[in-house]
């Protein structure tokens, strides 16, 4: 639901000049999303929407300009300081514990960093499981039963 709502919010911002959170909230309501102003505010923050001049003397929400790796790392450090309580690992798995409600923000910035050693992350409310690649593997495919299952799933993906 959140992903669909945020995708719709991005679509609205791309296609329309929207000046206020209240206007965004009304447009989301028009598309069947029952949201509060607080939800819209959180979505704006998570999507990093910015206000830019609309060319007619006002302002509108817009997608952020290109982000540099330095910007991402600064944002990641700030996000970790604000939300992360601890980090542990077991084999190729890294567990990040956050304060309640902080896991999605932390997982989003980790995913955005797009480190090649990382397969992906799974976020709950207060914890994130990060899956890492095995650097010792010559071939980037699982072995044994996982390899067989991977091949079957890949076959479905490729059609």
Q: Which domains does the chain have, with CATH numbers?
A: 2-62 (1.10.10.10), 66-159 (3.30.1360.40)
Residue 78's DSSP bridge partners are: none
H or E element in which residue 146 lies: helix 144-158
Sheet holding 127-132, edge to edge: 84-90, 93-98, 127-132, 118-123
User: pLDDT for 59-108, tens place per residue?
Assistant: 999 987 777 888 888 989 999 999 999 999 988 889 999 999 999 989 98
Note the residue count of the chain. 159
User: pLDDT for 113-158, tens place per residue?
Assistant: 888 888 889 999 999 999 988 766 656 667 777 777 778 877 777 8
Question: CB–CB of 130/90 below 8 Å?
Answer: no
Structure confidence at residue 136 (pLDDT): 64
**Verdict on whether the full-model pTM lies above 0.75:** no
């Amino acid at each position: 639901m959140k992903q669909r709502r945020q995708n719709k919010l991005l679509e609205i911002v791309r296609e329309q000049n929207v000046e206020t959170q209240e206007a965004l909230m009304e447009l989301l309501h028009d598309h069947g999303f029952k949201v509060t102003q607080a939800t819209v505010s959180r979505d704006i923050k998570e999507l990093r929407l910015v206000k830019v001049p609309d060319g007619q003397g006002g302002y509108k929400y817009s997608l952020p300009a290109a982000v540099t790796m330095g910007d991402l790392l600064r944002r990641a450090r700030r996000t970790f300081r604000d939300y992360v309580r601890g980090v542990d690992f077991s084999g190729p798995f890294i567990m990040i514990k956050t304060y309640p409600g902080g896991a999605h923000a932390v997982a989003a910035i980790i995913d955005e960093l797009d480190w090649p050693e990382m397969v992906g992350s799974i976020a709950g409310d207060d914890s994130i499981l990060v899956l890492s690649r095995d650097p010792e593997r010559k071939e980037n495919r699982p072995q044994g039963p996982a390899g067989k299952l991977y091949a079957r799933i890949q076959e479905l993906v490729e059609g």
